[in-house]
Chains A and B, each alone.
Chain A
Amino acid sequence: KQEVTQIPAALSVPEGENLVLNCSFTDSAIYNLQWFRQDPGKGLTSLLLIQSSQREQTSGRLNASLDKSSGRSTLYIAASQPGDSATYLCAALDYGQNFVFGPGTRLSVLP
């Protein structure tokens, strides 16, 4: 059974710092891995999707990498801003046709 974990559970950084969020999955048999952002009381917004054959994807200040063999993905946020404060979740699409979510990392960027 696929399990997805994320560390750290919470992170607080000053504005302008570069930071890395980590996502680990136990079963490397995945179709893709997707990173989401969730603001308090809101739904999830898709940030980046990395297909199983890809190593990384970039969008603006965000870069996500995928290492299937080690069961890891990272989300790199460059030059963080207060508006980046949110909970970040990763989800692995496994061969069982399920999107399995991690518990999320709660990010606070302090002005």
Chain B
Amino acid sequence: NAGVMQNPRHLVRRRGQEARLRCSPMKGHSHVYWYRQLPEEGLKFMVYLQKENIIDESGMPKERFSAEFPKEGPSILRIQQVVRGDSAAYFCASSPLGSRATNEKLFFGSGTQLSVL
């Protein structure tokens, strides 16, 4: 059973370009979370998605950022017109039950390191 798969592992973009980050959850998991991590900082929640639905996007900037988790295929975090401040590690996590369960557990991917030149 493969773990959470994220690609690419490293992504380099110039200012103004678009960045697409992909996350395939663990088999059987229908809940996906995206987090952003800056150097020497903790993980900051961005968005929580279930298949075809955005459950909570309160941590995601209103402009330039969007996320989806289609019925088929991976979850995509999309950043349009990237700026240098978007440079960070972006982590995806998946869970099987949805976060209302007391034994709900997160499984993380290895992250995508985005560098904006």
Contacts and interface: CB of A to CB of B under 8 A. Distances in A.
Are A and B bound to each other?
yes
Interface of A: 31-32, 34, 36, 41-46, 49, 51-53, 89, 91, 93, 96-104
Given A97-B48, A103-B42, A46 B110 contact: no
Contacts of B102: 31-32, 51-53
B104 A32 contact: yes
18 contacts: A31-B100, A31-B104, A34-B106, A43-B111, A44-B91, A44-B106, A44-B108, A46-B105, A49-B105, A96-B56, A97-B55, A98-B56, A99-B45, A99-B93, A101-B35, A101-B45, A102-B42, A104-B42
Contacts of A89: 42-43
Contacts of B105: 34, 46, 49
Interface of B: 4, 6, 33, 35, 41-45, 48, 55-56, 91, 93, 98-111, 113
Given A32-B104, A99-B45, 6 more contacts: A32-B103, A42-B111, A46-B107, A93-B104, A97-B48, A97-B100
Contacts of B41: 103
Contacts of A96: 56
Contacts of A45: 108
B101 A97 contact: no
Contact of B56 (A44, A97, A104): A97
Nearest to B110: A43
B103 A100 contact: no
Contacts of A98: 45, 48, 56, 99
